Amino acid sequence: MTDACGNDALCKQVFVWTQNQWLANSSYVIIIKPLRVIGIIVVAMLIRWLLHRAITRLTASTSRAAMPALLKPLKERVAETAEDAQYIPERRRQRAEAIGSVLRSFVSAVVFTMAALLLMGEFGFNLAPLLASAGIVGVALGFGAQSLVKDLIAGLFMLLEDQYGVGDTVDLGEAIGVVESVGLRITTVRDSRGVLWYIRNGEIVRVGNKSQGWAMVVIDIPIGFVNSEEAINVLKGAAIAIAEHPEHQTEFIEPPDVVGVEQLTVDGAVIRTIAKTTADSQATVQRELRRTLNEAMESSGLSGRIAASRMVPRSSVPPPWYTAPENSSPSIGEQPPGGAA
């Protein structure tokens, strides 16, 4: 036993059990090595399951009033009122699910990579050249895939900052439309003509989100040369009436206001009306308010007076104070002073 196993206690124990020198010498490979491999796999699966469970619970808590600070947009990490805390929009839930999916994929990749390296070490692979080669390949891929890394980082910060989400109407420069899907690398937007745009997150320089918070409706009504105070009173009454209508009452955040004469043109004055509405109701309120203001102007009789004020007769006779220059040539159709040419 001493000649076969030396001071190896496991080898001696196996030799006592089996009385076989080959099994005793191979005890480490047959017993210890498989147990270590199985242990590495089990521990990796356990760590992955625990981390996935923690991420799932973190993202699932968005369905309740309290929201984790990790998933809260960076611009909203301030004290919220009780009313705001009770409102968890659907887009925030979708963004939390997207972040959770990314975190779970990242955790799985890291855990399984470390487990694979440990397993390769157990089987006798020399990891030093492998890690050195992986580092060189990583540097090469980093230089060659700079745009991909840029897109991934931009997409991650876009999700964390909650710049836009699925269903939002956004202005991304050349693409203006409704967001249909959001990913770490690509954002798809469908415009008003039905064209689906695929935009890399790294190429998005600015984002105009028309679906967050509130929106402002601005309507300019030309009134010609009629009395501006009378037109303002008519428009103000029509705007307040539509704001108090039960069908549109919830769409207004603040009562509409007729701010007065916005500009003066050759055709007369222009009256501006503004209204603060919810983001989703901006287009509906704008169309309805424009229709109501137009009907109010017609029913008040101002539309006819506006049209009449624009019909200014133009006389061919110059005014008394006008003096023609001495060297001026006669206009077309005018007889020269000396008779017919």
Q: pTM here? A: 0.52
CATH tag, 214-310:
3.30.70.100
d(CA 180, CA 133): 41
Contacting residues for 296 by C-beta, under 8 A, at least 6 apart = 234, 235, 237, 238
Alpha helices in 26-126 (DSSP H): 27, 33-60, 82-85, 90-122
* pLDDT tens, per residue, the chain with 341 residues: 555 565 666 666 666 666 666 556 566 666 667 778 888 899 999 999 999 888 888 777 655 544 445 445 544 444 444 434 444 456 666 667 777 777 888 888 889 888 888 888 877 777 777 777 777 777 776 676 777 778 888 887 887 777 887 788 888 888 888 888 887 788 889 988 889 999 988 888 888 888 777 888 898 888 888 888 888 888 888 888 888 888 887 888 888 888 888 888 887 888 899 888 887 788 888 888 888 888 888 887 776 666 666 665 545 555 555 565 665 555 444 454 544 44
Write the CA distances from 123 to 25, 110, 126, 132, 232, integer angstroms.
17, 20, 9, 19, 87
**pLDDT value at position 132?**
77
Nearest to 309 by CA among 227, 234, 236: 227
**pLDDT value at position 43?**
92
Residues of the chain with CATH 3.30.70.100: 214-310
Q: At which residue do the structure tokens 């899907």 appear?
A: 181
d(CA 96, CA 58): 9
**pLDDT value at position 81?**
41
**pLDDT value at position 339?**
47
CATH class of 163-209: mainly beta
d(CA 244, CA 106): 52
**pLDDT value at position 47?**
93
Residue 187 burial by Cβ neighbours in a 10 Å radius (0-12, 13-18, 19+): buried
Starting at the edge strand that comes first in sequence, how are the strands of the sheet with 268-278 ordered? 214-224, 268-278, 257-265
**pLDDT value at position 50?**
93
Q: What are phi and psi of 168, to 5 degrees?
A: -80, 145
Write the CA distances from 58 to 52, 75, 99, 162, 220, integer angstroms.
10, 20, 10, 17, 49
Contacting residues for 23 by C-beta, under 8 A, at least 6 apart = 14, 15, 30
Residues of the chain with CATH 2.30.30.60: 163-209
Q: What is the Cα 320 distance to its own chain's centre?
A: 65
**pLDDT value at position 341?**
41
**pLDDT value at position 197?**
92
**pLDDT value at position 87?**
41
